[in-house]
Amino acid sequence: MIDFELNEEQQLIVETVRAFAAEVIRPAAHDADETQSIPQQLIDQAWELGLVQGSIPEAYGGYASQASALTGTLIAEGLAQGDLAIAAHILAPRLVVDAVLNAGSEEQKKEILPLYCKDRYVAGAAAVLEPRWDFSCNKMQTTAKCDGDDIVLNGEKCYVPLAKTAPYTVVYARGTDAPIEAYLLPAGTPGIEIGERESLMGLRALETYPVTLTDVRLPASAKLPGDASALLRRSRVAQSAMAVGVARASLDYSIEYAKEREAFGVKIAQKQAIAFMLAEMAIEVDAARLLNWEAAWSVDHDNDSSRKVALARGYTDNAVMMVTDNGVQVLGGHGFTRDHPVEMWARNGRGFAVIEGLASV
């Protein structure tokens, strides 16, 4: 029957992530955005939470008991509520891990997954977007063509997180058999050119790069045999979860501010215009969260997931923009300065509608 309750293990994960996000991530967020960097110590600390290793089955060195798209969603939401860029960095390994787990061959799993079960953080990356205003996942211009026993990749990718430090990047390309296919690209393969680090409106603490592939040659075994479109769906679920986290941060912060700030003799929260704005924000956060939980659940249960993920994604993209924009509005002139995080959350908020492959569940 319909049930919105988290089980005990999920509740524990949510609480653990919430505490880490509030106590460790959020205090570091402002400086990270200003300096466009994340302290390594924070990444190491996050690694100890086992959020990546916890999604890898024991057979490959992890300690997954409950890996599921839903659990990954709860994690992504909680971390992003601390900070989006930091969350994306922490979860970047899952761009590779989730792709291999869900679409990889047994050999690929054996080769790659143990790398992510060590006691140190190892980065992961995914290359999805291409530098065109009308980029379309269904009409990628990066190609994968057969040449003898090899695959040859050509194309230009952008917004590739951690391209310089990830030992593997999952490259999504228009393939030999399907419009979207995924390939495991080891760092250092000849033909890869990583450009200068990008400067984006938001996500500024996350290192993202343009990557050009010129006749990059891979063995046929580099192809992920499973359904690459399904992987992109998992990435959308993760992104939408992070959007909910960012929206939630903006809502909570605005509520607190509005209850303190005075105008016309009362707290501004006591004025209907502000109060109703906050009420609408609260409704949208909850609506987006529930839609995305349903989407995650539908991935786990193979239940009309392509439609549900698409609906949740579209809705959440709009909701997070509305909420984070209102967050700036509630703080007025102060919201426009970088003293408060609301403008950063609005800059981050706009990203969800344009980005693919930021995280995965």
Partner 1 sequence: MNFELSKTAKQRQKLFHSVAENMMRPISHQYDEAEHTEPDDFFQAMWQATKANRMAESPSGDAAASNGAAASNGKSASNGKPSEATLVTAVQIEELSWGDCGLYLSIPNPGLGGAAVSAVGTPEQKQRYLKNFYDGEPKWGAMAITEPHFGSDSKQVATTAVRDGDDWVLNGTKIFCTAGQRALEKSDGFVVVWATLDKSKGRPAIKSFIVPAGTPGVTVDRVEDKMGIRASDTAVITLDNARIPFDNILGTPEIVEKGRAGFKGVMATFDATRPIVAASAIGVGRAALDFVKDKLAEDGIEIRYEADRHDMTVLEHEVIDMEAQLQAARLLTWRACWMMDRGERNSREASMAKAKAGLAVTKVTQKAVEILGPLGYSCQWLVEKWMRDAKINDIFEGTQQINLMIVARSVLGYSSSELN
290 lies in the binding site for partner 1 (CB under 8 A): yes
Alpha-carbon gap, residue 203 to 185, rounded angstroms: 24
Give whichever of 59 and 283 is closer to partner 1, judged by the CB atom: 283
Nearest in space to 332 (alpha carbons), one of 344, 320, 343, 347:
343
The DSSP bridge partners found for residue 185 are 169
Q: Check residue 11 for interaction with partner 1 (CB under 8 A).
A: no
CA distances from 359 to 90, 193, 304, 343 (A): 9, 22, 22, 22
Q: In this structure, are residues 10 and 78 in contact, taking their beta carbons and an 8 Å threshold?
A: no
x/- binding map, residues 302-321, to partner 1, per CB under 8 A? -x--xx--xxx-xx------
SS3 176: coil
The residue assigned the tokens 């899952």 is 94
Residue 255 within binding range of partner 1, rule CB under 8 A:
yes
Rounded CA gap, 88 and 94, in Å? 10
What would the x/- binding string for partner 1 be over residues 135 to 174, using CB under 8 A? xxxxx-----------------------------------
Range in contact with partner 1 (rule: CB under 8 A) among 16-24, 43-51, 195-203, 287-295: 287-295
Nearest approach in angstroms of CB 68 to partner 1 is 10
In angstroms, what is the minimal distance from the CB of 189 to partner 1? Answer: 28
Rounded CA-CA distance 197/206 in Å is 10
Q: Is 286 in the site for partner 1 (CB under 8 A)?
A: yes
DSSP structure class, residue 226: S
Could you give phi then psi for residue 19, rounded to 5 degrees? -65, -45
| 293 lies in the binding site for partner 1 (CB under 8 A) | yes
> Phi/psi at 194 (nearest 5 deg)?
-95, 120
Amino acid identity at 267: K
329 interacts with partner 1 by CB under 8 A: no
In this structure, what token pair is assigned to residue 303? 């239940």
**Binder among 19, 221, 276, 339 for partner 1 (CB under 8 A):** 276
By CB under 8 A, residue 338 contacts partner 1: no
Under rule CB under 8 A, residue 270 binds partner 1: yes
Q: What is the DSSP letter of 172?
A: E
Amino acid at 316: T
User: Which C-beta is closer to partner 1: that of 2 or that of 40?
Assistant: 2
String of contacts with partner 1 for each residue 64-103, x by CB under 8 A: ------x---------------------------------
Distance CA 312, CA 24 (A): 29
Cβ-based neighbour number of residue 274 at 10 Å: 21
Residue range at the interface with partner 1 (CB under 8 A); choices 3-11, 98-106, 324-332, 339-347: 3-11
The verdict on 22 binding partner 1 (CB under 8 A) reads no
To partner 1, the closest distance from the beta carbon of 112 in angstroms equals 27
Kindly state whether residue 301 participates in binding partner 1, applying the rule CB under 8 A. yes
Identify residue 137 by its one-letter amino acid code. C
Interface residues with partner 1 (CB under 8 A) are: 1-7, 10, 70, 134-139, 229, 255, 258-259, 269-270, 272, 275-276, 278-280, 282-283, 286-288, 290-291, 293-294, 297-298, 301, 303, 306-307, 310-312, 314-315, 353
